[in-house]
Amino acid sequence: MADPREEKEKQFLTEVAELDEALRVLDSSLSQIKWRLKYARRRLETDILALCTGMRPVIMIDYGGKMPELQERFCALLKLCQKDLPIFEHLRVMVIEEMIYLVHTRALADHVRSSLNSERQLLFVDLEQDPPKMITEAEKSPLVMQLISIQKLFSLSFPLGERKMMHHHLSQYR
């Protein structure tokens, strides 16, 4: 009978090796598309790892260039990474109103579903106010209602348990 600590350590080492390989593939893919991210490289690595490990479902990208070139570069980068390693298979590029996001489709679906089904009260802050203010009557706020309708749309577009996600809502590179 195997020691549970040894099993956990073995699993941990396997995950670390997989993430090291993901960083190697990312680095190689960046070189192949000749994208030099001098100061943002470490941030990109951290963001990609956060997505791949499920720590974050979505990352807003505010570094590495301007649209539409930034979108094209990220799409090319993901295409290369996905060809080499399955850990990247659920990552997609999403563009909403000239802002670019990297999305882990499964994690986003899980996050949206859990927030829609949450029994805990969600707290909202209006960041357009200076200083930002708490929205005290969320059900009366048009912004909150709009967010909830967007979450419902996402939950329809990214249903849980499906292997094939509906990609036509995301900017694709295929």
Task: Delimit the domains of the chain by residue range.
Answer: 4-169
Closest CA relative to residue 90, chosen from 99, 72, 102: 102
pLDDT tens per residue across span 111-127: 877 777 766 666 777 77
Q: Name the phi and psi angles at 15, rounded to 5.
A: -65, -40
Share of the chain above pLDDT 70, in %: 80
Q: Are 78 and 91 in contact (CB under 8 A)?
A: yes
pLDDT of residue 174: 33
Least confident of 42-56, 77-91, 114-128, 160-174: 160-174
Strands 124-126 and 99-104, sheet pairing:
unpaired
pLDDT of residue 72: 93
Mean pLDDT of the chain: 81
Least confident of 41-50, 83-92, 137-146: 137-146
Specify the higher pLDDT residue, 138 or 42: 42
Residue 45 pLDDT exceeds 70: yes
Specify the higher pLDDT residue, 145 or 100: 100
Separation between Cα atoms, residue 132 and residue 101, nearest integer Å: 23
Sign of CA dihedral 29, 32, 37, 42: positive
- What per-residue string of b and e applies to 141-155 under the rule 16 or more CB within 10 Å gives b? eeebeeebeeeeebb
Residue 7 pLDDT exceeds 80: yes
Residue 170 pLDDT exceeds 60: no
Separation in Å, CA 52 to CA 10, 12, 63, 87, 133: 19, 15, 19, 6, 33
